[in-house]
Copies of this chain bind each other. A is one copy, B any other.
Amino acid sequence: MQTHMAKRVEIIIEAPMEGRLRSALAGADISGYTVLPVLGGSGRSGEWSREGQVGRAGGMIAVICIVHPDRVDGLLSAAFAVLESHIGVVSVTDCEVLRAERF
């Protein structure tokens, strides 16, 4: 099938920052993304797990955003402004998509 080049950006970020990231993406005119739950993890700030947690402080989410290659830079700048002093990871992968008009 006919596919088109795109970029898959994956942002793993603290749950309490979700709203701010959403706003930043909207500000950069990125309106398509999907939020996945995260169970736990490990990093420089130690191991953690969501099990039994009531507050949002100890937890992260993963945001997946597929965009046209031209828009990656805008997206990364927007995300970086939110992430800068926070823990979290951003990765960008080349991918192909169906229905290019969407991205």
Contact = CB atoms under 8 A, between A and B. Distances in A.
A70 B33 CA distance: 29
A38 B35 contact: yes
A94 B93 contact: yes
Given A95-B92, A96-B92, A32 B42 contact: yes
A54 interface: no
Contacts of A66: 89, 91
A41 to B, nearest CB: 4
Contacts of A25: 42
Contact of A95 (B26, B33, B44, B91): B91
A43 to B, nearest CB: 5
Interface pairs A-B: 10 shortest CB-CB:
A34-B41, A91-B95, A93-B95, A35-B39, A92-B96, A35-B40, A1-B76, A32-B43, A37-B39, A90-B98
